Chains A and B, each alone.
Chain A
Amino acid sequence: MRKKTDKKTGGFGTISLRRSAMSAPYLFWAVAFIIIPLLMIFYYGLTDKTGAFTLANVAAIAYAEHSKALWLALGLSLISTVICLILAYPLALILSQRKLSQQSFLVLIFILPMWMNFLLRTLAWQTLLEKTGVLNSVLSFLGLPALNIINTPGAIILGMVYNFLPFMILPLYNALTKIDPNVINAAHDLGANGVQTFCRVIFPLSIPGVISGITMVFVPALTTFVISNLLGGSKILLIGNVIEQEFTQAGNWHLGSGLSIVLMIFILVNMVLTNIFDKNGEGTVL
Chain B
Amino acid sequence: MMKKSAEKIYIALIILFMYAPIVTLIALSFNNSRTRAKWGGFTLRWYGALFENQAIMQALYNTLAVALLSAAAATLIGTVAALSISGMRRRSRTIFMSITNIPMLNAEIVTGISLMLLFLSFGIRFGFGTILLSHITFNIPYVILSVLPRTKQLNPSIYEAALDLGASRFQAFFRVVLPDLLPGILSGFLMAFTMSLDDFIITHFTKGPGVDTLSTKIYTEVKKGIKPEMYALSALIFLTVLILLLLVNYRPKLQKPSVSVAERK
Residue positions of A touching B, CB distance < 8 A: 5, 8-17, 19-20, 22-23, 25-26, 29-30, 33-38, 40-41, 44, 87, 90-91, 94, 104-106, 108-110, 112-128, 130, 132, 134, 162, 165, 215, 219-220, 222-226, 229-230, 240, 243-244, 247-248, 253, 256-257, 260, 263-264, 267, 270-271, 274, 281-283, 285-286
Contact = CB atoms under 8 A, between A and B. Distances in A.
B11 A94 contact: yes
Nearest to A31: B99
Contacts of B219: 119, 226
A16 B114 contact: no
A90 B10 contact: yes
A285 B145 contact: yes
B114 A270 contact: no
Contact of B241 (A115, A132, A165): A115
B34 interface: no
Interface string B101-113: 1111111111101
A159 to B, nearest CB: 10
A128 B53 CA distance: 27
Closest 6 CB pairs of A and B: A37-B114, A124-B21, A26-B81, A223-B107, A23-B84, A22-B84
A257 B144 CA distance: 29
Interface residues of B, number: 94
Given A38-B102, A120-B230, A123-B222, A220 B107 contact: yes
Interface stretch (B42-50, B157-165, B254-262): B157-165
B68 to A, nearest CB: 15
A121 B25 contact: yes
B37 interface: yes
A281 B97 contact: yes
A11 B21 contact: no
A33 B115 contact: yes
Contacts of B144: 26
A40 B14 contact: no
B133 A283 contact: no
Given A34-B99, A41-B117, A162-B21, 16 more contacts: A10-B156, A19-B88, A23-B84, A25-B80, A30-B99, A106-B11, A110-B14, A120-B230, A120-B231, A126-B36, A128-B20, A128-B24, A219-B106, A267-B106, A283-B101, A283-B145
Nearest to B240: A115
A220 B201 CA distance: 11
Contact of B85 (A23, A244, A270, A274): A23
A13 to B, nearest CB: 8
Interface of B: 7, 10-11, 14-15, 17-22, 24-25, 28, 36-37, 77-78, 80-81, 83-85, 87-89, 93-94, 96-97, 99-111, 113-118, 120-121, 133-134, 136-137, 140, 142, 144-146, 148-149, 154, 156-157, 159-160, 163, 169, 172-173, 177, 191, 194, 197-198, 200-201, 205, 214-215, 218-219, 222, 226, 230-231, 234, 237-238, 241-242, 245, 249
B11 A124 contact: no
10 contacts: A14-B163, A20-B84, A40-B114, A94-B11, A113-B19, A119-B200, A120-B230, A121-B21, A127-B36, A253-B117
A59 B172 CA distance: 58
Nearest to B73: A29
A199 B22 CA distance: 37
A108 B245 contact: yes
A134 B172 CA distance: 60
Contacts of A285: 104, 145
B218 A267 contact: no
B223 to A, nearest CB: 9
Given A123-B226, A247-B205, A271 B105 contact: yes
Contacts of B77: 25-26, 29
A264 B106 contact: yes
B17 A257 contact: no
Contacts of A127: 24, 28, 36-37
B18 A113 contact: yes
A34 B103 contact: yes
Contact of A26 (B94, B140, B194): B140
B114 A29 contact: no
Given A37-B117, A40-B117, A94 B10 contact: yes
A14 B77 CA distance: 20
A24 to B, nearest CB: 9
A15 B117 contact: no
Given A29-B140, A257-B113, A116 B22 contact: yes
B80 to A, nearest CB: 6
